[in-house]
């Protein structure tokens, strides 16, 4: 029968010494590993598995060694050390597993989440699960004794051993120590315990990462070797699951096992990086199973956190799948994100049992200050509220979401218990007399005064001595002793981080604080290991980083400023990742809520009453916008205003910022449309498209070229077309499309483009920054463009679905987009 122990041993040697058949290290060959040999010496427990492109090279000797598929192993790259020398050198960093692993059963797992700045997490893995047993037919076939076989077949057979064998063998090889049988199993022996994995791996990784092993060349080779081993095992699992089935596996036990293994490999990769400072490879991210793993976690989050958890889930993945898995195990954050109905809204008391009276500020004093364009702030002496102007005293500004119960107007006020609470919090942060500003008390319901107060919002938060965030989800879940990852989880999934208004309030704050159940923290709470993940989960923290002007040979400080002197001024491109997944119950508020971050006055926007008119006014005021606004956004609705059919209705749905571009490629927005440089692909004839629709584009080569025409496929966004052109019986005219690349990419990757047509009656307006003419094009629909034929041409509607058209290219034309 197949000897998996001998095979794994031989595979490890091959990874160390390279795969050149002319250099045969001592030991059992792969062919010999197939036949029984009881006297063979064992190096590892059964059994682990690795794979790389050498399986293809074995079948095709002419294949170059540096041709490595995604996630594959390019061969021996450990400092280009010859195999004969490596055998001697490996003895320096390999102790032949002379030490035996032990686990401190009393260790608090919640304190074993970080190795340096890397977040480490594991899930339970059913110990006796056989991953390859889910595969049909040939993938499950074992090898007959003494037969020759390819590496792929060996791996398929090896993966039919229980998961705990693969885990043990992998860890023994990476950690270079013996792992006693059963040490990683749970008490009931049913799973490889996530807690036991943390207790074993994290202390080991921390000890080594705090040493100087990464600075020694030979030890650095060990780090590269461990990374190659992880790549090989990952590729083996990925190939075994998907290459034979051709599709993702169904939801069930096998998908959960796959998820747990992928997270374990990701955490091990982070440990290797922290120890040996090797370059990040994102091993699992580059595999086919990564998409399914993220879908498994996303599905479970939506199921456990309820259907409204989509936005929270997307934020969590920015910190890695292991952090998203941690969130899944922690359970949902009590975030109040539902829109409120102002007509039926009731402010809450601090305690549900409280029945204290509402207290209302002196309205004439509020009116007087707003009419002078001053910011009214409040203080409470235990009996009554006093109003003063913000320049008279330092004050604290309260940032919150109405769904937590602090919404109101100056005319209605808030419960006395809430006023006492706000005063107490302000004094606790060093504000004399507890002076505070809170929208429910300082913004009137009367329209003219309300507009004045809203126009002052950016100034209100920028000039506050401190800004305090009150969020019920964060306050109920976290306390001062909570680990930073839990605070980050609750903050990143709180109602506060999901609203558009609170972005400005947090960004403009000089000092930003958050209330927990038993105290208050600021951004410095996330100094140290959590620093990097904090920026990924809460992008607004980025501008609060401590001074990075340190000597080049020193690492940048992993800390945040307590106080920011100059508030940030953003471009539209800067705002896109900050606005991602934020919402507002009133779409017309979005332009006003972000104007201050763009250095604009909201006062100019407020007179425009409709959401579309306000956003158009904002884009005209900001003038310079990223080029991708006109081509990206597969499902994003566009404005219906003249000259602005290219503009998204909401910047919060754009999702991805554009690349850094030179001034030459900046686009300028005026009332006449968007002026910029775009590559035009012009059809030889105007087509009348019907939904659903695809276009086969035959791209003509330049005159005099001997090259044959190239074929591309263009697909319009079905959701957009259905929404916009439904009343026109699904018909619309297209004369070509525009794209932001200089050249038409011959790539199988889908590129976002904007379908357009060329109106005959539009004037040729000059570019606002010069006298050169422009080509006027009208935006029709977002579309995707890809090299080659579509995946499926023959359909039930082949004839009407695909239109064939010839086209020519004009690179970086001066365009006026309307």
Count Cβ atoms below 10 Å from residue 99 Cβ, excluding itself.
11
What is the distance between the alpha carbons of residues 451 and 811, in angstroms, rounded to a whole number?
46
Secondary structure class of 340 (helix, strand, coil): coil
How far is it between the farthest Cα atoms of the chain? 97
What is the distance between the alpha carbons of residues 74 and 214, in angstroms, rounded to a whole number?
22
Backbone angles phi, psi at 807, to 5 degrees: -150, 160
Q: H helices of 339-442, where?
A: 363-371, 416-428, 439-442
Q: Side-chain half-sphere of 359: how many Cα atoms within 13 Å? A: 20
DSSP structure class, residue 561? -
DSSP assignment string, 442-466: HS-SSHHHHHHHHHTHHHHHHS-SE
What is the distance between the alpha carbons of residues 813 and 818, in angstroms, rounded to a whole number?
15
Secondary structure class of 133 (helix, strand, coil): helix
CB 245 within 8 A of CB 136: yes
DSSP assignment string, 59-97: H-TTS-TT---TT---S--STT--HHHHHHHHHHH--TT
At residue 311, the pLDDT reads 61
Distant-in-sequence, close-in-space partners of 229: CB < 8 Å, separation ≥ 6: 12, 15, 50, 170, 173, 174
> SS3 letters for 270-334?
HHHHHHHCCCCCCCHHHCCHHHHHHHHHHHHHHHHCCHHHHHHHHHHHCCCHHHHHHHHHHCCCC
Count Cβ atoms below 10 Å from residue 37 Cβ, excluding itself.
11
What is the distance between the alpha carbons of residues 189 and 183, in angstroms, rounded to a whole number?
10
At residue 179, the pLDDT reads 92
What is the distance between the alpha carbons of residues 145 and 31, in angstroms, rounded to a whole number?
10
Secondary structure class of 111 (helix, strand, coil): helix
Instruction: Identify the sign of the CA torsion 251, 257, 262, 267.
Output: positive
What is the distance between the alpha carbons of residues 195 and 213, in angstroms, rounded to a whole number?
27
What is the distance between the alpha carbons of residues 166 and 584, in angstroms, rounded to a whole number?
49
What is the distance between the alpha carbons of residues 446 and 409, in angstroms, rounded to a whole number?
9
Secondary structure class of 407 (helix, strand, coil): coil
Q: What is the pLDDT of residues 229-241, one digit of tens each?
A: 898 888 888 877 7
At residue 761, the pLDDT reads 78
What is the distance between the alpha carbons of residues 267 and 118, in angstroms, rounded to a whole number?
8
Among candidates 336, 670, 634, which has minimal Cα distance to 477?
Answer: 336
Q: What is the pLDDT of residues 725-775, one digit of tens each?
A: 765 666 889 999 999 988 898 877 888 999 999 998 777 788 888 778 999
Count Cβ atoms below 10 Å from residue 121 Cβ, excluding itself.
27
Count Cβ atoms below 10 Å from residue 579 Cβ, excluding itself.
24
Q: Side-chain half-sphere of 91: how many Cα atoms within 13 Å? A: 4
C-alpha torsion angle, residues 449, 454, 460, 466 (rounded to 10): 120
What is the distance between the alpha carbons of residues 619 and 647, in angstroms, rounded to a whole number?
9
Distant-in-sequence, close-in-space partners of 62: CB < 8 Å, separation ≥ 6: none
Secondary structure class of 761 (helix, strand, coil): coil
The helix or strand, by DSSP H or E, that contains position 756, with its residue range, turns out to be strand 751-757
Count Cβ atoms below 10 Å from residue 678 Cβ, excluding itself.
29
CA 131 to chain CA centroid, nearest Å: 29
CA distances from 742 to 321, 677, 739, 770, 810 (A): 35, 9, 8, 21, 9
Averaged pLDDT, groups of 10, the chain, 818 residues long: 47 45 34 33 30 34 33 34 45 66 94 96 90 46 31 52 86 91 89 97 94 70 88 84 56 80 96 89 86 86 71 81 93 70 86 95 98 98 96 98 93 97 98 96 97 97 98 94 96 92 97 98 96 95 81 71 92 92 90 97 95 98 92 89 95 80 74 96 90 81 76 89 71 92 84 93 81 92 88 48 89 94
At residue 800, the pLDDT reads 52
What is the distance between the alpha carbons of residues 47 and 337, in angstroms, rounded to a whole number?
49
CB 711 within 8 A of CB 697: yes
Q: Are strands 436-437 and 396-400 parallel, antiparallel or unpaired?
A: parallel
Q: How many helices (H) and strands (E) does the chain have?
A: 25, 22
Cα radius of gyration (the chain): 31
Q: H helices of 508-588, where?
A: 531-537, 572-579
C-alpha torsion angle, residues 224, 225, 229, 230 (rounded to 10): -30
Query: Which pTM was predicted?
Result: 0.82
Among candidates 642, 666, 668, which has minimal Cα distance to 779?
Answer: 642
Among candidates 292, 281, 190, which has minimal Cα distance to 241?
Answer: 292
């Amino acid at each position: 029968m197949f000897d998996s122990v001998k095979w794994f041993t031989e595979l490890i040697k091959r990874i160390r010494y390279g795969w050149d058949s002319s250099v045969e290290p001592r030991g059992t060959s792969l062919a010999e590993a197939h036949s029984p040999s009881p006297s063979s010496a064992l190096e590892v427990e059964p059994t682990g598995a690795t794979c790389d492109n050498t399986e293809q090279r074995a079948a095709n000797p002419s294949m170059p060694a540096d041709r490595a598929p995604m996630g594959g192993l390019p061969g021996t790259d450990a400092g280009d050390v010859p195999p004969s020398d490596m055998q001697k050198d490996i003895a320096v960093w390999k102790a032949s597993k002379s030490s035996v692993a032990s686990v401190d059963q009393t260790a608090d797992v919640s304190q074993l989440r970080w190795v340096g700045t890397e977040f480490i997490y594991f899930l339970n893995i059913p110990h006796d699960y056989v991953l390859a047993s889910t595969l049909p037919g040939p993938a499950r076939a074992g090898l007959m004794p003494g037969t020759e076989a390819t590496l792929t077949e060996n791996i398929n057979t090896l993966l039919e051993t229980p998961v705990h064998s693969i885990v043990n063998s992998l860890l023994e090889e990476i950690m270079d120590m013996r792992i006693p049988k059963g040490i990683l199993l749970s008490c009931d022996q049913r799973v490889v315990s996530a807690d036991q994995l943390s207790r074993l791996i994290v202390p080991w990784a921390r000890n080594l990462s705090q040493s100087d092993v990464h600075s020694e060349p030979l030890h650095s080779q060990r780090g590269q070797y461990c990374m190659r081993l992880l790549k090989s095992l990952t590729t083996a699992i990925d190939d075994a699951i998907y290459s034979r089935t051709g599709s993702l596996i169904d939801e069930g036990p096998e998908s959960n096992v796959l998820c747990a293994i992928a997270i374990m490999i990701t955490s091990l990769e982070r440990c290797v990086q922290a120890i040996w400072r090797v370059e990040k490879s994102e091993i699992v991210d580059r595999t086919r199973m990564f998409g399914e793993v993220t879908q498994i976690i996303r599905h479970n989050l939506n199921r456990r956190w309820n259907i409204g958890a989509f936005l929270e889930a997307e934020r969590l993945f920015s910190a890695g799948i292991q952090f998203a898995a941690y969130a899944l195990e922690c359970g949902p954050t009590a975030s109040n994100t539902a829109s409120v109905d102002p007509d039926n809204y009731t402010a809450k008391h601090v305690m549900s049992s409280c029945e204290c009276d509402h207290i209302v500020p002196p309205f004439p004093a509020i009116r007087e200050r707003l009419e002078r364009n001053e910011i009214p702030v409040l203080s409470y002496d235990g009996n009554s509220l006093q109003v003063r102007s913000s320049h008279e005293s330092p004050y604290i500004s309260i940032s919150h979401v109405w769904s937590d119960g602090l919404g109101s107007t100056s005319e209605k006020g808030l419960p006395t218990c809430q006023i006492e609470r706000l005063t107490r919090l302000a004094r606790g942060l060093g504000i004399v007399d507890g002076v505070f500003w809170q929208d429910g008390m300082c913004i009137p319901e009367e329209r003219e005064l309300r507009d004045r107060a809203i126009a002052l919002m950016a100034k209100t938060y920028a000039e506050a001595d401190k800004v305090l965030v009150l969020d019920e989800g964060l306050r109920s879940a976290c306390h001062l002793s909570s680990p930073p990852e839990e605070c980050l989880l609750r903050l990143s999934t709180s109602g506060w981080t999901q609203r558009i208004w609170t972005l400005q309030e947090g960004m403009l704050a000089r000092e930003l604080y958050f209330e927990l159940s038993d105290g208050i923290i600021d951004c410095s709470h996330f100094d140290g290991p959590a620093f990097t993940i904090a920026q990924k989960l809460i992008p607004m923290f980025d501008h609060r980083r401590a001074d990075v002007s340190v000597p080049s040979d020193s690492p940048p400080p992993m800390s945040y400023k307590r106080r920011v002197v100059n508030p940030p001024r953003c471009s539209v491109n800067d705002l896109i990742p900050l606005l991602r997944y934020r919402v507002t119950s009133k779409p017309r508020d979005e332009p006003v809520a972000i104007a201050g971050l763009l250095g604009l006055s909201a006062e100019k926007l407020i007179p425009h009453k409709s959401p579309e008119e306000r956003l158009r006014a904002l884009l005209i005021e900001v003038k310079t916008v990223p080029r991708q606004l006109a081509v990206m956004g597969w499902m994003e609705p566009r404005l219906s205003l003249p000259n602005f059919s290219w503009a998204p209705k909401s910047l919060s749905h754009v999702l991805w910022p554009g690349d850094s571009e030179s001034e030459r490629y900046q686009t300028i927005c005026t009332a006449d449309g968007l002026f910029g440089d775009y590559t035009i692909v012009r059809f030889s004839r105007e087509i009348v498209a019907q939904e659903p629709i695809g276009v086969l584009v035959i791209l003509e080569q330049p005159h005099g070229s001997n090259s044959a025409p190239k074929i591309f496929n263009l697909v319009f966004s079905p959701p957009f077309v259905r929404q916009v052109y439904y009343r026109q019986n699904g018909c619309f005219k297209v004369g070509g499309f525009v794209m932001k690349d200089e050249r038409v990419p011959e790539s199988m990757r889908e590129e976002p483009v904007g379908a357009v047509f060329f109106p005959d009656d539009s004037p040729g307006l000059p570019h606002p920054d010069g006298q050169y003419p422009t080509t006027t094009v009208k935006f029709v629909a977002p579309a995707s463009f890809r090299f080659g034929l579509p995946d499926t041409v023959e359909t039930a509607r082949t004839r009407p679905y695909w239109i064939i058209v010839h086209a020519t290219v004009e690179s970086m034309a001066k365009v006026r987009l309307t």
